Each structure stands twice: as C-alpha cells, then as structure tokens.
A = this chain, B = another copy of it.
Amino acid sequence: MAKQSYICGLDAAMSVIGGKWKSLILWELREGTRRFGRLRQALSGVSEKMLMQQLRELEADGIVHREVYSQVPPKVEYSLTELGVSLYESVLPLAMWGEERMDGIGAARASA
C-alpha cells in the first residue's frame, strides 16, 4: 500500500479514527483490556467480521494491541497501546462535545 498523503492533521487523525466502530472501540478500551466477545457485546449492531476488520486496522495503525494467550480455548485480549491512549485523550473534548449535545443532535435530525 502506498504511503498516503493527508491534507491536514485532522485528515490524518480521521483516517485512523474515522468511522463509527473505530471510535467506539477506542472508547470501549479506555478502561482496560477487553476480549473480543465483550467488545462485540458493547458495540451492539457490529458484525463479527466487521469488528475483526476494524480491530486489525487499528492494530496496523499501532492503536490497539492484540494479546494471544496460548491456552485451550485460546484467549485473545485487546488493549490500547501508548499511541492509542494518546489518541483516546485527544478525542476526549470531542466526546464531551457530543455528550453535552447528544439530545440536540438527535432532535435536529428528527425535525430535518
């Protein structure tokens, strides 16, 4: 894959975090490690295939660490890397913006 060029920093950041599921995965991992099944439960509506793909991309971008424990049945845990934690911290103001305006956003859409 060729090295991408970005218009600005926000463009680069959105290429990592953009899309519904990735930001929710980041949010869900803020409190620590999660197993695949628990992640999927938290992100109601995501398919197994889609969640796996999103996790792989986040792993390739160095945001998520995947730890495989060789036991039977195999246990796989996901967590944020140091880079992932810095990304989480940088979306906090955006998350607060959404939190404060959540009802308003829905209402505007409904009446549009």
Contacts and interface: CB of A to CB of B under 8 A. Distances in A.
Contact of A90 (B24, B97, B104): B97
Interface in A1-33: 1-20, 23-24, 26-27
Nearest to A44: B7
A49 interface: no
A72 interface: no
A99 B12 contact: yes
Contact of A6 (B11, B60, B61, B102): B102
A68 interface: no
Given A13-B94, A16-B98, A97-B86, A27 B8 contact: yes
A104 B4 CA distance: 11
Given A1-B109, A24-B10, A61-B109, A94 B98 contact: no
Nearest to A92: B93
A69 to B, nearest CB: 24
Contact of A20 (B14, B42, B109): B14
A106 interface: yes
B8 A24 contact: yes
